[in-house]
Structure 1
Amino acid sequence: MKVPFTWKVTGWFMVGWSAEYEIGDVKPLRYFGEDLVAYRDHAGDMHIMTGHCRHLGAHIGHGGKVVGDCVECPFHGWRWGPDGRNRKIPGEDRVNRGLRLQVYPVVERNGCVFMWHHPEGAAPQWEMPDILGMFPELGTDPGNFYRPYPEFSRKTANEPVHPQVVLENGPDSLHFEYVHGATVTPRMLDYSAVGHTWNFLTGWPDARSDDPDRMALKIHAQMFGLGGSISAFDGSSKHRLIFATTPVDDEVSDLFYSIWWPRVPGDSSDIPPPEVRERVERQFLVTVWEDLSIWRYQKYVDHPPLSPKDAKPYLSLRQWAKQFYDVPPADAKAPA
């Protein structure tokens, strides 16, 4: 997908789920065109750093191991601390103070792992929000929901989709009929751009009522930068979800989707029962693949002829998104 802006976006981006990383796990990642290593140290903390050892270039994510809070290269045993500094050179009584691995800030929220990316390495400019802590009027207790991973989580890798294109689904009301088979067209009830967030409230009119302002379902949502959006459903279903997009390089992204589904009254298990799993899979988890059937072949239109009902929020989102591009597109021509 060709877009007129960079894929090296500034912000928080999801890279997986906490349950994928047990203590002592070391794994390779690739995001923003960089080979990375992710590991969970013996204190339980997650770290993400440049993947290649500064000694002879071995990829630490393939065969590396955790020693205390360090990760050890599988080639010659050089150890690197969570600050990226060299902590040990086998057979020597010194360390190399001039070599460092780049460190990417990491946070875990509600069982999801996020890394901060800035194309020039700047520190985080805002905090990654607590997913269930949003919209407190709808409840915030994690104990009220089944676990999102693995039953209600999905990942699709290396898709030709830019993060902004995914978020532009938010103010696009008319696609629900044609892509998702909706019998009622949702309405944008409110929206606002506030700093690094774009917030919106969508309503689904009650087809059984003569009152056009009566809503059968409301969806509260917040985009936490271009990394993704968090939504809370208020109606017949009262679940939460996150839909996140993380660039792999300048052509493709990984997409992550998780749902927090309310527990059946009286059920104390963290694992959803089969009938709940079947319903969530059939009604909600499939929507990602329906949208992907469009995004995979879509051409970005810089000045679209928008419908009057979608134009203002759509253009508001595009204007808001500009703040996350701190570098020009990779194929931008240098000024003459």
Structure 2
Amino acid sequence: MFSLRSGFLILTVTVPIALAANDTLFKIPILEAGEIYMKQVVNSRLMDILPSYMNLYSPLFYIQAIVLGVLGYFLYGIIFRPIDRIRVLGDVGYRPDGKFTKKEIARSVKKRRVVGEIPPVYPNGWFGVIESWKLKREPVYVSVLGEQLVVFRDEKGEAHILDAYCPHMGANLGVGGRVVGDCIECPFHGWKFRGYDGKCTEVPYSEKVPDFAKIKAWTSAELNGWVHIWYHAEGVEPTWKIPELKEITSGTWQFKGRTEHYINAHIEEIPENGADVAHLKQVHEPLMAAGTDLTKMWSKYFSWGQHIWQASWHQLPSPDEHVGCMTVDHDLKCFGFSLPFVKAHVTALQIGPGIVYLTIEGTPFKGAWLHYLTPVEPMVQKLVHNVYMHWSIPNIIAKFFMYTEAIQIERDMMIWNNKKFQAKPVFTRTKEDSLISKHRRWYSQFYSEHSPRLNFQKDTLDW
């Protein structure tokens, strides 16, 4: 409907102008030219095929055209554009208090909250640094895992990750740097550093390049729509590979949208939810429409529907002991009746500390959520979800499921953002609590002797 009306509008402009345009037209005053234009429109056969309500002399017609154009733009966005939902600290996960905004409360909680006896803040493993589509010709400065990095593509299209600061005078290569061949050029004095090993290859004003002039080049891999970095506190090379999702690389599954959240918590607390099957009923049973506020989602107005979850978690055997697996069966009941089109079986593979590949199979669809969890600060995590579904699935369907996932994550965030890490939890002798204990033992393999820890310094008035 929108494209048909657009066609009519284009015809009303282009056809009469083509009929009326001649040398004389451009030599007469503009008001007379407009009059000639309108006469040509009225006398043309175009008026015979236009609907009666499309009266070009009526101001209402032009108001309707503008309204339809705006509505068409928003409908196009809803139906065809991939979702891009971004929530920073203070947007969700906190409750306003009096005159204080959520952002003010977020800053306050971050300062005064009891953190607890937390494990090391940066575990070892593969982490997502940047989505591939965001890395074009210009270098990108990234701060993750306590490191300052520059990510860039060389002229052959290969992605590289280097330390961000030039060893010469400390300029940030990711801010104003330029890609030249397989190198990045410093914006300050033009020193060039090779992407794959960080070696300085040229100093513009010197015939000889010092042998020790180099910066750290990080082990990286680009796969499944992401540029990854390997981080290990002991300098150990990668001990496992990131699995390729062939449905993505072949184009069978296409990108349908993303969400991005910033969470005030220790990194281990977020994947731990995968083994915490007991929290599913308490946090995720109420309908999506009940919202993200844990105190309001149990409203009687939404009690007619519930999400039903059946879940389990286990560690994969060697040589894949770095992978944890959560399986979930989901059902949605409304007035006691199951809705078959939202039934789904989910398999979530936690690959190391920072990557989850979640495949979902339902009645009308099959696809994958890619979860990338990367520490921005010791107690601030960036969580990005990418959704991929079969190319034939309309974006509006993918948006529905992505929005549902976002609501469920934002409920968890109200807990993560405000909780204390319990190093020695009080567990019951149940299967539910035993899974959390097993997950913590499994996750401990990603810490090593020199894994960075958060050091607290008590402020005093002593000089």
Same fold (TM over 0.5): yes
1:293 deviates by 2.1
1:317–1:189 distance in 2 versus 1, CA, 3 Å:
closer
1:178–1:311 distance in 2 versus 1, CA, 3 Å:
closer
Q: Does 1:112 align with 2:240?
A: no
After superposition, residues 135-284 of structure 1 pair within 5 angstroms as: 142-148=250-256, 152-157=257-262, 159-180=263-284, 181=286, 183-189=306-312, 191-194=314-317, 195-204=321-330, 216-236=343-363, 237-264=365-392, 272-273=394-395, 275-276=396-397, 278-284=399-405
- Aligned-residue sequence identity (percent) comes to 26
1:248–1:278 distance in 2 versus 1, CA, 3 Å:
closer
Partner of 1:41: 154
Partner of 1:14: 128
Partner of 2:433: 311
Q: Does 1:59 align with 2:166?
A: no
Contact 2:123 2:451 in 1 (8 A): no
Aligned pairs, number: 311
Alpha-carbon separation, structure 2, partners of 1:205 and 1:277: 18
Letter paired with 2:219: P
Alpha-carbon separation, structure 2, partners of 1:156 and 1:332: 25
1:234 deviates by 2.2
Letter paired with 1:147: F
Alpha-carbon separation, structure 2, partners of 1:95 and 1:278: 53
Alpha-carbon separation, structure 2, partners of 1:84 and 1:6: 28
Contact 1:16 1:256 in 2 (8 A): no
CA-atom RMSD in angstroms: 2.7
1:251 deviates by 2.6
Secondary structure class of the residue paired with 1:293? helix
Which stretch has the larger CA shift, 97-106 or 181-190? Answer: 181-190
1:72-130 Cα offsets, whole Å, 9 max, x none, are 11000111002111111111111121132111111122212211111233211111122
1:306 deviates by 4.1
Letter paired with 1:13: F
TM-score (norm 1): 0.83
Structure with greater strand share of residues: 1
Alpha-carbon separation, structure 2, partners of 1:142 and 1:229: 20
Secondary structure class of the residue paired with 1:298? coil
Alpha-carbon separation, structure 1, partners of 2:117 and 2:362: 36
Contact 2:121 2:451 in 1 (8 A): no
Partner of 1:121: 235
1:115–1:193 distance in 2 versus 1, CA, 3 Å:
same
Gapped regions of structure 2 (runs ≥ 5): 1-114, 288-305, 337-341, 457-463
Partner of 2:69: none
Gapped regions of structure 1 (runs ≥ 5): 134-138, 210-214, 266-271
Contact 1:193 1:317 in 2 (8 A): no
1:50–1:193 distance in 2 versus 1, CA, 3 Å:
same
1:299–1:142 distance in 2 versus 1, CA, 3 Å:
farther
Secondary structure class of the residue paired with 2:255? coil
Secondary structure class of the residue paired with 2:242? coil
Alpha-carbon separation, structure 1, partners of 2:310 and 2:400: 25
Which stretch has the larger CA shift, 170-179 or 313-322? Answer: 170-179
Alpha-carbon separation, structure 2, partners of 1:101 and 1:17: 24
1:16 deviates by 1.8
Contact 1:186 1:204 in 2 (8 A): yes
1:2–1:257 distance in 2 versus 1, CA, 3 Å:
farther
Q: Does 1:31 align with 2:144?
A: yes
Q: Does 1:95 align with 2:95?
A: no
Secondary structure class of the residue paired with 1:91? coil
Contact 1:5 1:328 in 2 (8 A): no
Alpha-carbon separation, structure 2, partners of 1:30 and 1:282: 28
Letter paired with 2:346: I
1:2–1:49 distance in 2 versus 1, CA, 3 Å:
farther
Structure with greater helix share of residues: 2
| Corresponding residue to 1:288 among 398, 409, 417 | 409
Secondary structure class of the residue paired with 1:53? coil
1:141 deviates by 7.3
Secondary structure class of the residue paired with 2:173? coil
TM-score (norm 2): 0.62
1:18-74 Cα offsets, whole Å, 9 max, x none, are 00011x220111012121111111110111111100001111111001000100110
